[in-house]
A and B are shown apart, each in its own frame.
Chain A
């Protein structure tokens, strides 16, 4: 740098700050973060271990490779809906109509494709378009009239449920053809073994490559590299080992569903959007302090519009994935616990209900927890009445954890 006196890195000139170095430092930093209420992935991991132990002891089939593959098939649909919920939650808004939206999308798919016999891609586009339109309506109601999103989406919930029943009309449900690609995608198609192993190695390799590039660029401009090479190698190594084991285990059974692959792809894309683009920064800024975001020149109305449209469109996609999974568009699609499962998944995964905090990964992690509970309870032959009660309880616990973590963050100065 230009200043000859500064041999220390640009970001290390303040002696009051403790800088964690190497792997012990990374672990110490993690413990500090958890203590101050920045829980990250911890609730998910604890939850999954707990769930796996309980259900496995009650019925060993729970951890069988084929059951886990089924779990991934089921997770994709609700996961997509949950990914959209993450978007609106980051803004501090909510969409309570995602269940109805998904049901409506499945009805649209069934009616256009099976009843009128038009091509599938057209049906999918119309359903996605309906989703985008509903998001636009919610955003406009909020932007123009200041209508709280929980009221407008509650109204939308009822209206779309009505439309779904109207579309399905006299038949009540439409069976989708079993031989079609759409249904096979939702029920049968799994990745080839070699491809799944390739995908297992890819994230670790990518992490290492991007991490090394980042370290090189930081070193070039005299910035320190917290953690350094050892932490990076440890992280990438652990991730790769875990993924290789998961892929190996799932390949003992049916393998990894393509539908789940599509969901993960969407999560990765959303994660890029939220963390690496100006749009994502604006999302978090609006969620954290709307007025400050506005004064920084961010178009708050447009950001809201993008979030609500993404949410409803992803809900429509989730509805169609669910329809292809069940091979039918029924009046029950999207009703019951779909709404709450999607919201609970996002919150369990670590996206705050209070806005300004969250990540795309929370949809992936949270939905696995939610599906694991649902799957385990089904294996135990428990009725849906009990399943609803337990899922409700889990959502309540997740929100309590979120609130407590938020209070703790506030008292530790972490927003």
Chain B
């Protein structure tokens, strides 16, 4: 287990966060700290509550219990607008883009320049500049999102989260739809964002990606904290924490493979 980062004050602190959907207890007493310039990976099996936690932090769902502190101040994230205002930017797993609008409109949605006489030219310039910084390959920013591929949409979603100069950025499965080069590009991007002093919460099923960039790996299991690891910890410990047992599908499979090799 790793001790928490050296920085004095965390950007975001969760204390005892719980969330119930009817009879289902999706999150129970979740504790989490994110410091400036730190990448925290959130891992767990399907249904561990990762995406629910992200939605709570994004203001999409309201927690049924617990407290959230942002920059040391207790906050209530009662709407997505509130979370964005504070500087919590989110890239959702389902991307949440409007397919009927073009790339520029999606990037600036809800935060257009000069609201009473939209400055399309300036928005287009900023869009190109930002997409270039991300080494994005978008053919045209004036085509509707519907005409883009999955990876291109992912890039647009990430670019949008960075547009508002957030303090902390949450990425829910950012590399799931990406090719090899784009995945590396996103990991580079995460490191660049971290170096700028932002906090990053990364959710991924890909342990390789997680180990590559995460300072701490927080494991969730069945909606509860199940240990904190670093990239140096062994894979079997991590998988045991994720699946909840040293004896699990992954270890059994590895054991079987070893036997086959021995034979």
Name A residues whose Cβ lies closer than 8 Å to a Cβ of B: 10-11, 14, 16-17, 214, 217-218, 221-223, 276-279, 281-282, 284-285, 287-289, 291-299, 356-357, 409-410, 412-415
Contacts and interface: CB of A to CB of B under 8 A. Distances in A.
A11 B115 contact: no
Interface stretch (B136-144, B204-212, B234-242, B247-255): B136-144
Contacts of A276: 117-118
B80 A414 contact: no
B4 interface: no
A84 to B, nearest CB: 21
Contact of B139 (A16, A284, A287, A356): A16
Contact of B147 (A16, A222, A289, A414): A414
B108 to A, nearest CB: 8
B109 A298 contact: yes
A299 B139 CA distance: 31
A295 B79 CA distance: 8
A168 to B, nearest CB: 42
Nearest to A14: B139
- Of the listed residues B95, B97, B98, B99, the one surrounded by the most CB atoms of chain A closer than 10 A to its CB is B98
Given A14-B138, A16-B139, A414-B146, 14 more contacts: A277-B115, A277-B118, A282-B110, A284-B100, A284-B101, A287-B100, A289-B99, A291-B96, A295-B96, A298-B81, A356-B98, A356-B100, A413-B144, A415-B99
A415 B121 contact: no
Contact of B116 (A14, A277, A287, A296): A277
28 contacts: A10-B128, A14-B140, A16-B139, A214-B121, A221-B125, A276-B117, A277-B115, A277-B117, A279-B115, A282-B110, A284-B105, A285-B110, A288-B98, A288-B101, A289-B97, A289-B98, A292-B109, A294-B60, A295-B58, A295-B80, A295-B92, A295-B96, A297-B80, A297-B84, A297-B85, A356-B100, A413-B147, A415-B144
B118 A281 contact: yes
A357 B144 CA distance: 12
B145 interface: yes
A10 B79 CA distance: 36
Interface string B72-107: 000000011100110000101001111111000100
A289 B118 CA distance: 21
Interface string B42-71: 000000000000000010100000000000
B31 interface: no
A222 B97 CA distance: 27
Nearest to B121: A217
B185 interface: no
Nearest to A17: B139
A223 B124 contact: yes
A297 B110 contact: yes
A415 B145 contact: yes
Contacts of A356: 98, 100
Contacts of A292: 95-98, 109
Given A14-B137, A281-B118, A357-B100, A298 B110 contact: yes
Given A288-B101, A297-B81, A221 B139 contact: no
Interface residues of B, number: 42
A65 B227 CA distance: 83
B192 to A, nearest CB: 18
A273 B98 CA distance: 19
Contact of A17 (B80, B105, B122, B140): B140
Interface string B122-160: 101100110000000111111011111000000000000
A170 to B, nearest CB: 50
A143 to B, nearest CB: 14
Given A11-B140, A278-B118, A297-B111, A415 B100 contact: yes
- Best-buried of A14, A279, A295, A413 by chain B (most CB within 10 Å): A295
A381 B160 CA distance: 60
A92 to B, nearest CB: 10
Nearest to B98: A288
A298 B145 CA distance: 19
B168 to A, nearest CB: 16
A214 B147 CA distance: 26
A355 to B, nearest CB: 8
Instruction: Give 9 nearest A-B pairs by CB, closest first.
Output: A415-B146, A297-B81, A278-B115, A288-B100, A296-B110, A413-B147, A356-B100, A292-B96, A288-B98
B153 to A, nearest CB: 11
A289 B145 CA distance: 12
Q: Tell me which of A222, A285, A298 has the highest count of chain B C-beta atoms within 10 A of its own C-beta.
A: A285
B114 to A, nearest CB: 9
B118 to A, nearest CB: 5
A214 B121 CA distance: 8
Could you say which of B97, B100, B105, B111 has the most chain A C-beta atoms within 10 Å of its C-beta?
B100
Interface string B178-196: 0000000000000000000
A213 B262 CA distance: 76
Nearest to B80: A295
Contacts of B173: none
A221 B127 CA distance: 13
B137 to A, nearest CB: 7
B112 interface: yes
A189 B104 CA distance: 45
A222 B109 CA distance: 24
A10 B133 CA distance: 13
Nearest to A90: B100
Contacts of B112: 278, 281
B96 A288 contact: no
